[in-house]
Chain A
Amino acid sequence: DAGVTQSPTHLIKTRGQQVTLRCSPISGHKSVSWYQQVLGQGPQFIFQYYEKEERGRGNFPDRFSARQFPNYSSELNVNALLLGDSALYLCASSFSPAFANTGELFFGEGSRLTVL
Chain B
Amino acid sequence: KAGVTQTPRYLIKTRGQQVTLSCSPISGHRSVSWYQQTPGQGLQFLFEYFSETQRNKGNFPGRFSGRQFSNSRSEMNVSTLELGDSALYLCASSVRTDSYNEQFFGPGTRLTVL
Indicate, yes or no, whether A interacts with B: no
- Taking Cβ atoms with an 8 Å cutoff, the residues of B that contact A are none
- Taking Cβ atoms with an 8 Å cutoff, the residues of A that contact B are none
